[in-house]
Structure 1
Amino acid sequence: MLKRLCMLISLLLFFTGCAAKDNSTSESITTYALDTVITINLYDEGSEAIFTRMTNRINEIETLMSKHIAGSEVDLINQNAGIKPVVVSQDTYKVVERALMYAKLSKGSFDPTIGPIVDLWGIGTEEARVPSRDEITQKLNYVDYEAIILDEQEGSVYLSKTDMSIDLGAIAKGFVADELVLLLRNEGISKAIINLGGNVYAYGEKDNGDEWKIAIQTPYDQRNVNFGYVEIKDKTVVTSGPYERYFEEDGKTYHHIFDANTGYPIDGETVSVTIVTQSSMDADALSTLLFTMNQKEGLDLIESIDGVECLYIDQDYEIRMSSGFEEMFTLTDHTYKIVDN
């Protein structure tokens, strides 16, 4: 955990450095929530009251959606699995509904009911371990997005099988970023960089009208070395990869992105997926979803969705991009090679 925290702080310093190079002044805060370091840089004149409202909103969402907080709405949903529906806030309902949409789109590759598998492996905690095949097989009985029952009129969420549990870790940070942008817009703030542990929202544009340069970290280096950057405004950049949370046992590395069909960490050609789009919640879910797919299928999916672009990196340092990503991307580390899809 300490190593990961240091990595995240380094990333925050990187983005602060970028702002300084752009000759823009900012006011910033850094906090810790949602199991990550969060930094917010405002490039309009901020105020203590605005920062307080932002941190309060972050804490509110975490209190609703963290499965690790006793009495949170997600905890109550999980505790009542197979027993009864739970009426939840509009926030939680919206995120669960969106997660279920992506589960259906991916036919279960992205599955918010992965909670029993996540808990079994314990990756990111002091209890991380490799479970037995029998343990995994038993827990897979409770991974089933089709068993999520939503009642829009009641605003309720029901897990219809006992011992199921939902985990919104692959989408909740994106929702937080979107909500912070909405808050800033309502406060009259026109430019900011919001960074939730590498989930970055570039809101507005620089003082001179240029777009922001947002770097993308190489998945092969633990010192936050970057292999390129995108130039964007009013968009989010979200990257998923095995370097985010992992542990090693008997010389083998196990990461936190699971195959919902097998219960094991995904072991394929892809080592990193980056999404650029306007909704950080969508980018959060899609970056995980695409990691579970082979690259051709993932790229075809992104080409079919308006306003979303993606970049894949594979084990051979090869980069494949959607057509729109190429227009905003600059490669700076030529260890990597851009190849045709």
Structure 2
Amino acid sequence: MPFRGFFIGSRTRALAIANGFLIAAFVGCTSTPIPMETEYLFQGPTMGTAYRVKVVSPHLSDAGKSRIDQAIQRELDNVNAKMSTYQSDSEISRFNRQRTTEPFPLSVDVIEVLSEAQRISEATEGAFDITVGPLVDAWGFGPVKLDRIPSESRLAELHQSVGWEKIEIGAPATARKSHPATQADLSAIAKGYAVDRVSQTLADLDYGNHMVEVGGEVRTAGHGLTGKTWRIAIEQPILGRRAQQRIVRLNDGAMATSGDYRNLIEKDGVRYSHTIDPRSARPVTHRLASVTVIHLSCMTADAYATALMVMGEDEAFRFATAHDLAVMLLVRGEEGDFTERCTPAFEALRRS
């Protein structure tokens, strides 16, 4: 079901976020000012990137600010401890080290993310795949730099353990591999989940006016300062500088963007994108530069943005339209310019 709670504006004042595809802002709106509210900023490193949380509330005591800060950190640390492939003791790391096909017990949180990942993998016919890690490493986007282009035989060998259907979720709260070498990497969905968790925690604490951003994935609730609608800018996919493509007014919803332009490698004069198509085992070669997805769930938007980026312009547009997703594609032109291609759901929101 498409998200119906945002509007698109044309004004361009915004506050840049340095660590992500999005630029969060809270400017320009015709809402009635709400007196005696202050905007509080909480920020720091997490999950190999950074987070920014803005809470709009009447005056907070030091104890109140500390309570919010601790709640945010607790949720982020919880996701990291369970889903990080960089922490050797995380749940997902321990699952990956188990080289058997026996069921492995997992927490409710990890099962929730795995289940959504599997749902989107099935819906996209494998364009989204959390088991693609070995192929990403083989193409030089992991811990070891690319020495030479992987051979057909090497890719075929690695592909034997790759495939979303090779992870099966069972009851109660277990997962098993059908191939013992299969690895799970939740990085393309876990940041969105972390955003959702922090937002829900703030709502549970009765801080209903907030914006949460982790590594460029965003969720908003309520209003910004003086009653203004939260405004988020979609960034132009230009390497080396940051510029806004479009401002979105986002009400009680989430937005995620995936792009191909910040992580490239060059070998023998050829540039390779870090976006690996799990179906072909190769980097994508299409002209799609970035994908932005609006959804009620940041976790879902995060995963769909990755899947659509894998598909390329035409396949992504057909899929998003068929599934009534609010999506904007930015397609790179021959002269380095960008063309917007928006789904009917996105266009309908623009006109509303």
TM above 0.5, yes or no, is: yes
CA distance in 1, matches of 2:104, 2:242: 41
Unaligned segments of structure 2, at least 5 residues:
1-15
Which residue identity lines up with residue 138 of structure 1 in the other structure?
E
Report the equivalent of 2:342.
321
RMSD of the alignment, in Å? 2.5
1:27 to 17, 40, 44: 40
Deviations 1:127-174 (A, max 9, x none): 3555422332221111121221111x2210111212110111111111
CA distance in 2, matches of 1:125, 1:240: 21
CA distance in 2, matches of 1:329, 1:223: 27
Deviations 1:226-246 (A, max 9, x none): 111111111111110112433
Structure 1 residues 90 and 240, CA, compared in 2 at 3 Å: closer, same or farther?
A: same
Aligned-pair CA distance for 1:124:
6.0
Report the equivalent of 1:238.
256
Which residue identity lines up with residue 55 of structure 2 in the other structure?
L
Report the equivalent of 1:334.
none
Aligned-pair CA distance for 1:187:
0.4
Q: Which moved more, 1:162-171 or 1:321-330?
A: 321-330
Report the equivalent of 2:55.
42
CA distance in 2, matches of 1:217, 1:244: 12
Identity %: 25
Report the equivalent of 1:163.
181
Which residue identity lines up with residue 313 of structure 2 in the other structure?
Q
Aligned pairs (5 A) from 1:1-341: 9=18, 15=24, 18-19=25-26, 25-44=38-57, 45=60, 47-123=65-141, 125=143, 127-128=145-146, 130-133=148-151, 134-151=153-170, 153-305=171-323, 308-316=325-333, 317-329=338-350
Unaligned segments of structure 1, at least 5 residues:
1-6, 331-341
Structure 1 residues 32 and 230, CA, compared in 2 at 3 Å: closer, same or farther?
A: same
Deviations 1:55-79 (A, max 9, x none): 1110111110012211211112111
SS of residue in 1 equivalent to 2:282: coil
Structure 1 residues 104 and 14, CA, compared in 2 at 3 Å: closer, same or farther?
A: closer
Aligned-pair CA distance for 1:259:
0.5
SS of residue in 1 equivalent to 2:231: strand
CA distance in 1, matches of 2:215, 2:94: 27
SS of residue in 2 equivalent to 1:262: coil
Which residue identity lines up with residue 294 of structure 2 in the other structure?
V
SS of residue in 2 equivalent to 1:171: helix
Relative contact order (C-alpha < 8 Å, sep 6+): which is higher?
A: 2
Q: Which moved more, 1:201-210 or 1:161-170?
A: 201-210
SS of residue in 1 equivalent to 2:128: coil
Asked if the contact 2:22–2:257 (Cα under 8 Å) also holds between the matched residues in 1, the reply is: no
CA distance in 2, matches of 1:130, 1:217: 33
Which residue identity lines up with residue 344 of structure 2 in the other structure?
S
Structure 1 residues 10 and 95, CA, compared in 2 at 3 Å: closer, same or farther?
A: closer
SS of residue in 2 equivalent to 1:137: helix
Structure 1 residues 117 and 302, CA, compared in 2 at 3 Å: closer, same or farther?
A: same
- The total of aligned residue pairs comes to 320
Aligned-pair CA distance for 1:318:
1.4
SS of residue in 2 equivalent to 1:47: helix
Report the equivalent of 2:5.
none
Asked if the contact 2:20–2:217 (Cα under 8 Å) also holds between the matched residues in 1, the reply is: no
Structure 1 residues 262 and 301, CA, compared in 2 at 3 Å: closer, same or farther?
A: closer
CA distance in 1, matches of 2:233, 2:146: 31
CA distance in 1, matches of 2:22, 2:168: 43
Deviations 1:4-45 (A, max 9, x none): xxx963669953xx3477897421122212221111111124
Asked if the contact 1:231–1:328 (Cα under 8 Å) also holds between the matched residues in 2, the reply is: no
